[in-house]
Amino acid sequence: MTQGTYQQTAYRNNLSVIWNEVVKNIKTLLAYPTIIVFWAIFPIFWFIPFILQGEAFVGGLESSSFAQITGTGEYIPFIVIGAILSSYVNTLLYGMGENIRKEAYQGTLDYVLAAPCNKAYVLIGKAVSESLSSTIFAISQLTISVLLFGMNITLGVMLPVSFIIILLILGLYGMSLLMAAFSLMYKQSYDLSESIGYIFYIFAPVRYPVESLPTWAQIIGKFIPLTYALIIVRSLMLLGSDLSSVYLEVIALVIIDVVLLVSGLYMFNKIEKKTRKSGIISHH
């Protein structure tokens, strides 16, 4: 064995990289107490405007025309699910790019990239940290919805719902690799992640049912993982369906995940090499 190298089993080593990345990010987050206050208050502000807007339009919290399109007359759970799943888009796309930008700014990025571990696992650790904050956010929103708006949650559906959220996170992880690559190249990815976020909000059924969109927009929506995640989770939680009745959407989500993960990893490796060649990697 060459001095300085360690031969741990690959999977233990990779888990250790992911775990330590998560611990690092959480400890850093906890070093800023005001962020905790923000996370405690923001979930309420995030979706209440949508609920009030809907109530103003339909004259109450239930609507027969809404029920005709969606199969459920309950507007609040529909909106809450949209808000929760789209918060994963926010944190993963924006969070990953921002995390890489901060590493470059504080000078730690060179050390992370010059270490012998596989960088994909460092990025998984970053994605897991971001997903954890989204999950805390989601739990806060669900709790508020139950307490303030009397939303009913069947615990039995939470397992398949969690499975779908993991599939959504995998697809978003593929996209966040692209954001990380963009941050390496351009030292920020805020504009790109904001733009993608807005595309998601327009073409995926976050605030309205997919049927409200014109046909051409529905076709674009079919390439967005959030579209399938929203359709499946709403079917499970609001219509009482099981996974077998939405298996086509699940398959579509898995296919999009594979495409996004493979292309995201390829692009990250390609751009990382390009920045090491051009010297941009050491700029901040």
Partner 1 sequence: MAIDKESEEFSIETKDLTKKFAKKKHRGIFGFLRKNQQNNKHNNVTVALDKLNLSIRPGELFGLLGPNGSGKTTTIKCLSTILIPDEGRAIVNGFDTQKETAMVRASLGMVVGGERTLYWKLTARDNLTYFASLYKMPRKKAKIRIEELLETFQLSDRADERLEDYSTGMRQKVAIARALLHDPPILLLDEPTLGLDPGFARQIRRQIRELSEKQGKTVLLTTHYMNEAEQLCDRVAFINNGKIVAVDTPNRLKARVKEKEIVEIAVYSPPADIEKQIRSLLPDAEVVKLIRGNEDEGSPSRIKIIGGTAEEHIGTVIDALRQNNVRIGSLNVGFPTLEDVFIKLTGAKLTEGRT
Q: Does 270 bind partner 1 (CB under 8 A)?
A: no
User: 33, 59, 65, 116: which one contacts partner 1 (CB under 8 A)?
Assistant: 116
What residues numbered 156-215 form the site for partner 1, per CB under 8 A?
none
Among 4, 33, 59, 150, binds partner 1 (CB under 8 A): 4
First to last CA, the chain: 36
Smallest distance from partner 1 to CB 114, Å: 5
Among 80, 93, 122, 170, binds partner 1 (CB under 8 A): 122
Cβ-contact 169, 260 below 8 angstroms: no
**Least distance between partner 1 and beta carbon 1 (Å):** 10
**Residue 239, both tokens:** 């219509």
From 167, 86, 176, select the one nearest 123 (Cα to Cα): 176
Among 113, 128, 254, 261, binds partner 1 (CB under 8 A): 113
Contacts of 125 (CB under 8 A, 6+ apart): 17, 18, 19, 20, 21, 22, 24, 25
Stretch that binds partner 1, among 78-86, 101-109, 140-148, 220-228 (CB under 8 A): 101-109
In whole angstroms, give the CA distance from residue 220 to residue 213. Answer: 10
Which uninterrupted H or E stretch holds 257? helix 247-278
Minimum separation from the CB atom of position 19 to partner 1 (A) = 8
Helices 119-149 & 75-89, crossing angle to 10 degrees? Answer: 160
User: Does 16 contact partner 1 by CB under 8 A?
Assistant: yes
Rounded Cα–Cα distance for residues 224 and 195 (Å): 14
Q: Could you say which of 24, 55, 208, 267 contacts partner 1 (CB under 8 A)?
A: 24
Q: Does 114 bind partner 1 (CB under 8 A)?
A: yes
- Identity of the residue, 24 or 207, whose beta carbon is nearer to partner 1 in the bound complex: 24
Asked if residues 172 and 93 have their Cβ atoms less than 8 Å apart, the reply is: yes
- Our finding on whether 33 is near partner 1 (CB under 8 A) is no
Q: Are 21 and 129 in contact (CB under 8 A)?
A: yes
Stretch that binds partner 1, among 108-116, 158-166, 176-184, 242-250 (CB under 8 A): 108-116
Name the site residues for partner 1 (rule: CB under 8 A): 2-8, 12-13, 16-17, 19-21, 23-24, 27-28, 31-32, 106-108, 110-117, 122, 273, 276-279, 281-282
